Amino acid sequence: MNAEAHRPDTLMIRKLQSIFPLSADERQALRELPVRVVHLEPDRPIVQIGDRPHQCCLVLDGFSCVFKLSYEGRRQIMALHVPGDIPDLQSLHLAVMDSSLASLSRCTVGLIQHDDLRRACERHPRLTAAFWRETLVDASIFREWLLNIGQRNAYTRMAHLLCELLVRLEAVGLVEGNAFELPITQEELGDAIGISAVHVSRTLQALRADGLVESRKTRFAVLDRERLKQAGEFDPLYLHLQERTA
């Protein structure tokens, strides 16, 4: 990624603009937000369930996830975050974290104080709408994941997840051709779609055998977008991109 894209404000603005039009004024207010940049190794906690954070986390580079553990220690990943996402924006209005947030890959994040965000929202009321909207899109993604995990088989789930990542990464300019980096393990992929690591391996092999994707190391290439969408029952409606508020 180039230096410009690494600038916290640029990424956040790009992401917000993908779901909500911003004025020059509003963009300026976002650029002026004080951001503390932090680099993280893989699998590092960022915020834990039960915490009462006073700041939000903006993903700048790499991947993070929100997850919870069952009593038997099984992990469900509720969300994967791509650069530009604000995974714990909810903490602005929910005092206590109901899930944990951690880095998956090596990761750069920007920390923004709640107070600063609240001040920006007061001065620019449409920013409130923009941030609210972002949390609503997150909720929409949770709903789609519920459908994915609750009603679809492993093959379809995996195809769906890859379609979603392709679209979301494209929105922030992280897809080259049809390929993207996804530096997470098969176990983590499995925790995201509710299947075991062993079955992830088999499922990816099936997708490769069917000529839908290619994957070497952490690089995934989508060979046939249309067929992958079909296989994953993927309709990007739920991402609410570029929606006219008509």
Partner DNA sequence: CGCAGGATTGACTGTTGTCAAGCTTGGTGG
Partner DNA sequence: CCACCAAGCTTGACAACAGTCAATCCTGCG
Interface with DNA (CB under 7 A): 153-155, 185-187, 190, 194-199, 201-202, 204-205, 217
Among positions 116, 210, 224, 233, the unique one binding a copy of itself when judged by CB under 8 A: 233
Structure tokens at 70: 């069952």
Q: Is residue 113 near a copy of itself by the rule CB under 8 A?
A: no
CA gap 42, 46 in Å, rounded: 11
Cα distance between residue 9 and residue 63, in whole Å:
18
Q: Least distance from C-beta 177 to a copy of itself, angstroms?
A: 28
Q: How far is the CB of 63 from DNA (least distance, A)?
A: 13
Q: Which of 21, 28, 48, 93 binds a copy of itself (CB under 8 A)?
A: 93
137 near a copy of itself, judged by CB under 8 A? yes
Specify which residues 100 forms β-bridges with: 67
Window 26 to 45, contacts with a copy of itself (CB under 8 A):
none
Residue 25 interacting entry, from DNA, a copy of itself, none, C-beta within 5 to 8 Å by type: none
Angle (nearest 5°) at CA 182 between 177 and 188 = 150
Task: Number of residues interacting with a copy of itself: please give it, by CB under 8 A.
Answer: 49
- Helix or strand run (H / E) with residue 4: helix 3-6
Cβ neighbors of 219 (< 8 A, separation 6 or more) are 179, 180, 181, 182
Q: Are 66 and 135 in contact (CB under 8 A)?
A: no
Q: Which does 10 bind (CB under 5 to 8 A by kind): a copy of itself, DNA, none?
A: none
143 touches which of a copy of itself, DNA, none (CB within 5 to 8 A by kind)?
a copy of itself
Which one of DNA, a copy of itself, none is in contact with 1 (Cβ closer than 5 to 8 A by kind)? none
Place of tokens 């944990």: 100
Q: Are 39 and 86 in contact (CB under 8 A)?
A: no
Contacts of 92 (CB under 8 A, 6+ apart): 56, 114, 117, 118, 131
Nearest approach in angstroms of CB 246 to a copy of itself is 7
For a copy of itself, what does the binding mask look like between residues 149 and 188, x meaning CB under 8 A?
xxxx---x--------------------------------
Sign of CA dihedral 223, 226, 228, 234: positive
23 CB contacts (<8 Å, ≥6 apart)? 126
Determine the straight-line distance between the first and last CA of the chain, rounded to whole angstroms: 35
- Least CB distance from residue 184 to DNA, whole Å? 8
**Tokens encoding 53:** 């954070």
The nearest distance, CB 45 to a copy of itself, in angstroms, is: 17
Which residues lie near a copy of itself (CB under 8 A)?
A: 49-50, 52, 66, 68, 70-71, 74-76, 78, 90, 93-96, 98-99, 128-129, 132-133, 135-140, 142-147, 149-152, 156, 193-194, 233, 237-238, 240, 243-246
